[in-house]
């Protein structure tokens, strides 16, 4: 899903060839970035088939160029206006925890501790990274990491609450 809208976003202002699109999408994905080039080309095939993207030809180095079609622009704008439910980002752990409760999993405490440890590690590393980004003038990346940290804070508080109620 991210690759599709990443490509549509990258083509919004200018044409790109395939490898440029991979780099653009990596950059949009931020710290979690790095997609497989194959994913870009299979997604481009689908986008061409659905007439969201077309190819106006080749550049001077014989690389196939891609451009955004009106339908692609509409699709992108529609997606941008759809609110994202918060739970999607962390449903994996909630689901796992729910399963653990359902089967009265004896190691639930360990599961929560491990999750907490992971969150703390992310908090520490992201805090360091965001400070570096801010000093480099990367305001947007800094703000995105700040957002992630606020979610992590909520997750940490939630685990603490589960632990307190289980005592």
Contacts with other proteins, residue ranges (CB under 8 A):
113, 116-118, 120-121, 123-124, 126-128, 131, 134-135, 146, 149-150, 153, 156, 163
Least Cβ distance, residue 121 to other proteins (angstroms): 4
Residue/partner pairs of 72-78 with CB below 8 Å, 24 or more apart: 72/8, 72/11, 72/47, 73/8, 73/12, 75/8, 76/5, 76/8, 76/9, 76/12
Give 96 or 151: the residue with its C-beta nearer to other proteins.
Answer: 151
What is the C-alpha to C-alpha distance for residues 165 and 167, in angstroms, rounded to an integer? 6
Give 65 or 149: the residue with its C-beta nearer to other proteins.
Answer: 149
Least Cβ distance, residue 124 to other proteins (angstroms): 5
Least Cβ distance, residue 34 to other proteins (angstroms): 23
- Token pair for residue 3? 């690759």
Give 51 or 161: the residue with its C-beta nearer to other proteins.
Answer: 161
What is the C-alpha to C-alpha distance for residues 39 and 48, in angstroms, rounded to an integer? 14
């Amino acid at each position: 899903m991210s690759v599709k809208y990443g490509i549509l976003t990258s083509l919004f202002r200018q044409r790109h060839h395939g490898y440029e699109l991979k780099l653009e999408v990596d950059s949009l994905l931020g710290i979690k970035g790095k997609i497989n080039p194959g994913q870009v080309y299979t997604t481009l095939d689908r986008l061409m088939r659905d007439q969201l993207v077309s190819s106006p030809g080749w550049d001077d180095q014989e690389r196939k160029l891609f451009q955004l079609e009106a339908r692609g622009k509409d699709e992108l704008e529609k997606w941008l206006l759809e609110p994202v439910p918060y739970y999607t980002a962390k449903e994996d752990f909630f689901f796992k925890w729910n399963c653990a409760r359902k089967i009265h999993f004896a190691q639930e405490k360990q599961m929560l501790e491990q999750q907490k440890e992971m969150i703390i590690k992310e908090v520490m590393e992201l805090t360091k990274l965001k400070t570096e980004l801010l000093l480099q003038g990367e305001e947007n990346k800094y703000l995105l990491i700040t957002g992630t940290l606020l979610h992590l804070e909520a997750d940490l508080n939630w685990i603490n609450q589960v632990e307190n109620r289980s005592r």
